[in-house]
Structure 1
Amino acid sequence: MRTRPTIAAAALTAAVTLLLSGCGGSDSEDSGKDEIAGADTGASASASPSPSASADVVDRPEVSLPKGDNLVFAPETAGDAKADAVLKDNAEYLRAIDEAIGEQNPKSEAVAFYSKDSAYLGSVEWISGFVKDGVTVTGTVRYFDRKVSFSKDGSAGLVYCADESKGYTKDVKTGKVNVTEASKDSYVLYNDRLRKNDKGVWQTTKSTSERGSEVCQP
């Protein structure tokens, strides 16, 4: 499996269980810092048509995954224009990280485009770890149960799971794939905070995770 730095927030699993079951919490962003990002309101936006591809006028960087690397996102859309934009930019952020690992480039412009603050710094540190170890990524990672909520301050919370049971690292020099057996730790719970910048991009500003979370087990 692959690994990302994990930051276990207090009572994270319990908070996410409440969110996934449709229960909300406080409207205050500060009160949600120790809980799941985006669980502040527990409210989802009303349904509206998703914007067409032509409606997106943002000049985005072209992101290409390393050869043999595949990321699957479920769902890709939520049926609501605002939530769909969050899901799309989150997917591109994760793709940009894998591209940076493949290119062995911690200073990726695409990663900086889709993230900032602690999320960006954490991504740079994580990518640097792969570079130091001389490995890249390959195989398939599935991101599922992606749920978006919005806070009164305009930020978005995104909770999702990752299935890394078929995602591996690969030695850059030899090309040898480090195949590992699936285990409880192959499943990771993520809790991200995003904010829309002046370019119209939903940048990930904070990300916490819990490897082996019961919420994400098959």
Structure 2
Amino acid sequence: MKRRIRPVAVAIAASTALLLTGCGSGESGDGSPGTSAGEGSGSEKGPASPGASAKPDRGERPKTELPKSFQAHFEGWKNSDPELQALLDDGKERLLASYGAIINQDPHHDAFTFYDTGDALRTGTTWIKAFTDKNLTLIGKGRVFQPQPRIGPDGSGTLSYCVDEGKGSTKDMKTGEVTDTPADDAFVLYRTELSRTDEGVWRTTMVRTEKGACK
């Protein structure tokens, strides 16, 4: 079976990665799937296209809704500290926005460009285009777990977490060909850096990945 495209590796040649996230030591899981507004259903509403999001207005956070054909399940994405929970929430939406940009075939997806800035925006756009330029979309499931959020003395944030892509695949939108994720490539550790805007939004500024670092 063919290997799935490695998007982050396309964006940063020295980096090895697959689809999205990374690892740490989080609290016990809530098991909720990542969908628009935290509904957890994953179903599309009305005429909205897959991965569609509300356009940001006056600092309001956009929400990404994933279609039934691809689900992201977040485990342990809860923290008793409100500030760390806010960081987790924005980090989660950033990941959902990345998936939505691919599914919606839009490297400049509103939610993705809202939650990413600096190097993360540049490399992430290149990574998304590695899918969209080849008419590839995502199907199946991704499991996002072991989040580890931190806020430094200077007010900057870091968030690491793991993603299991073993049940995720890419699908050629023209031919219908499906390419599964090889088992050896299924687990990816993500380390991200974030900065908080004046409106209190945590935007991702840097993403580093390590294949095989999560089990």
TM-score bucket (shorter structure): 0.7 to 0.9
AA partner of residue 81 (structure 2): D
Please give the per-residue CA displacement for 1:36-62, whole angstroms capped at 9, x wherever unaligned: xxxxxxxxxxxxxxxxx9xxx952223
Does residue 81 of structure 2 align to residue 80 of structure 1? yes
Shift of 1:20: 5.0
Distance 1:96 1:20 in 2: 23
AA partner of residue 89 (structure 1): D
Does the CA-based 8 Å contact 1:73-1:142 persist in structure 2?
yes
Within 5 Å, which residues of 2 pair with 1:1-218? 3-6=6-9, 20=25, 59-183=60-184, 185-213=185-213, 216-217=214-215
Please give the per-residue CA displacement for 1:11-36, whole angstroms capped at 9, x wherever unaligned: xxxxx99x759xxxxxxxxxxxxxxx
Unaligned 5+ residue runs, structure 2?
A: 16-21, 27-37, 39-57
Shift of 1:179: 2.3
Alpha-carbon RMSD across the aligned residues, in angstroms, is 2.5
Does the CA-based 8 Å contact 2:69-2:139 persist in structure 1?
yes
AA partner of residue 123 (structure 2): G
Shift of 1:110: 0.8
Does the CA-based 8 Å contact 1:162-1:188 persist in structure 2?
yes
Distance 2:92 2:159 in 1: 11
Q: Which has the larger radius of gyration?
A: 1
Runs of 4+ in 1 over 6 A off after TM superposition: none
Q: Secondary structure at the match of 1:154?
A: coil
Distance 1:20 1:76 in 2: 11
Does the CA-based 8 Å contact 2:7-2:130 persist in structure 1?
no
Shift of 1:146: 0.2
- State, as a whole percentage, how many aligned pairs show the same letter: 37
Aligned length: 173
Distance 2:180 2:25 in 1: 32
Distance 1:171 1:143 in 2: 24
Specify which structure has the higher proportion of helix: 1
Distance 1:175 1:111 in 2: 26
Distance 2:156 2:121 in 1: 17
Shift of 1:76: 1.8
